């Protein structure tokens, strides 16, 4: 799936957003777990997907993200560089550049992403005739993926104007269920309290502990493997318990209010 010439096929492609400038944990995507950067683990865990045709790492044009582009070149991965703050614009132009028909959105701070769950989201999108499909909060935070067409992405790119809609790519889509046919997959148990993303040092410590407890295996362990591990070793789950889900999005919502006030005063 590396450096594939997508041509006219316009396949199903993961656009994987990654940057070094995290507010809460700078440089996190290149922090190492079991001797490999977090970004490597995310890409590696997406490879077994049976429905993904390729992966594009989408980073920013900031100088500090040169390391991400250099790493992609060394590893033979596709890389696109665009706006740091307008991630919607970055996604749109990455999809345009690589002629992508169906976009799978994944964030590079999810080193426990499960390829089987990603495939479930894609299957629901393909079979349900949806414009957008994601996972519900019943899954642990950090298994998140979303699937949508290039046409839907382009409409959001043209029409979205709030800071939260530009920074987080898809809010304009899933907030407008009258414009788009939305779908989702839900887990039968509620694991919404679990944080499997890497947003801060505690999250990194948790993820590192999971990998090391698994023995840093080359095989791709699943969500259920991690759940079993945490049931047997509850102290690992305590390493990052109690965190706020979607903290970055909540911050963007405050910026929305400031933008609305500024526009109303013009």
The pLDDT tens digits of the residues spanning 157-210 come to 999 999 999 999 999 999 999 999 999 999 999 999 999 999 999 999 999 999
Structural domain contains residue 4: no
Structural domain contains residue 33: yes
DSSP 238: G
The pLDDT tens digits of the residues spanning 210-228 come to 999 999 998 899 999 999 9
Whole-angstrom Cα distance, residue 124 to residue 231?
29
What DSSP element (H or E) covers 36? strand 36-37
What is the span of the domain harbouring residue 128? 12-264
Whole-angstrom Cα distance, residue 236 to residue 207?
9
Query: What pLDDT, on the 0 to 100 scale, is given for residue 143?
Result: 97
Structural domain contains residue 5: no
Query: What pLDDT, on the 0 to 100 scale, is given for residue 4?
Result: 47
pTM beyond cutoff 0.85? yes
Query: What pLDDT, on the 0 to 100 scale, is given for residue 88?
Result: 98
List, in sequence order, every residue forming a beta bridge with 57; answer none if it has no partner.
16, 79
Per-residue pLDDT of the chain (266 residues; tens, 9 = 90+): 444 444 445 589 999 999 999 989 999 999 999 999 999 999 999 999 999 999 999 999 999 999 999 999 999 999 999 999 999 999 999 999 999 999 999 999 999 999 999 999 999 999 999 999 999 999 999 999 999 999 999 999 999 999 999 999 999 999 999 999 999 999 999 999 999 999 999 999 999 999 999 999 988 999 999 999 999 999 999 999 987 755 654 555 555 566 656 666 55
Structural domain contains residue 118: yes
Structural domain contains residue 1: no
Query: What pLDDT, on the 0 to 100 scale, is given for residue 254?
Result: 58
Q: Do 35 and 21 meet the contact criterion of CB atoms below 8 Å apart?
A: no
Number of domains in the chain: 1
Structural domain contains residue 82: yes
Query: What pLDDT, on the 0 to 100 scale, is given for residue 242?
Result: 84
Structural domain contains residue 2: no
Structural domain contains residue 244: yes
Query: What pLDDT, on the 0 to 100 scale, is given for residue 250?
Result: 52
CATH number at residue 20: 3.90.550.10
Query: What pLDDT, on the 0 to 100 scale, is given for residue 251?
Result: 56
Query: What pLDDT, on the 0 to 100 scale, is given for residue 218?
Result: 81
Whole-angstrom Cα distance, residue 173 to residue 95?
17
SS3 199: coil
């Amino acid at each position: 799936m590396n450096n594939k010439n997508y041509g006219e096929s316009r396949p199903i492609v993961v656009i994987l957003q990654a940057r070094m400038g995290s507010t809460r944990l700078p440089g996190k995507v290149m922090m190492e777990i079991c001797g490999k950067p977090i970004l490597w683990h995310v890409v590696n865990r997406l490879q077994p997907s049976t429905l993904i045709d390729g992966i594009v790492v989408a980073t920013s044009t900031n100088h500090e993200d040169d390391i991400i582009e250099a790493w992609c070149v060394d590893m033979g991965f596709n890389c696109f560089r665009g706006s740091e703050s307008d991630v919607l614009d970055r996604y749109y132009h990455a999809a345009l550049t690589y002629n992508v028909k169906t976009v799978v959105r994944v964030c590079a701070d999810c080193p426990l992403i499960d390829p089987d769950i990603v495939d479930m989201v894609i299957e629901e999108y393909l079979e349900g005739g949806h414009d957008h499909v994601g996972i519900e909060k019943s899954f642990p935070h950090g298994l998140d993926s979303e699937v949508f067409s290039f046409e839907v992405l382009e409409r959001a790119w043209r029409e979205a104007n709030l800071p939260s809609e530009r920074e987080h790519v898809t809010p304009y889509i899933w907030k407008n269920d009258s414009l788009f046919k939305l779908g989702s997959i839900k887990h039968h148990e509620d694991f919404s309290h679990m944080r499997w993303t890497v947003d801060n040092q505690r999250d990194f410590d948790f993820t590192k502990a999971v990998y090391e407890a698994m023995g840093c295996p080359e095989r791709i362990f699943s969500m259920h493997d991690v759940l079993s591990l945490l049931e047997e070793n509850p102290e690992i789950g305590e390493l990052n318990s109690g965190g706020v889900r979607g903290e970055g999005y909540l911050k963007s919502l405050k910026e929305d209010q400031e933008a609305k006030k500024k526009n109303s005063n013009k």
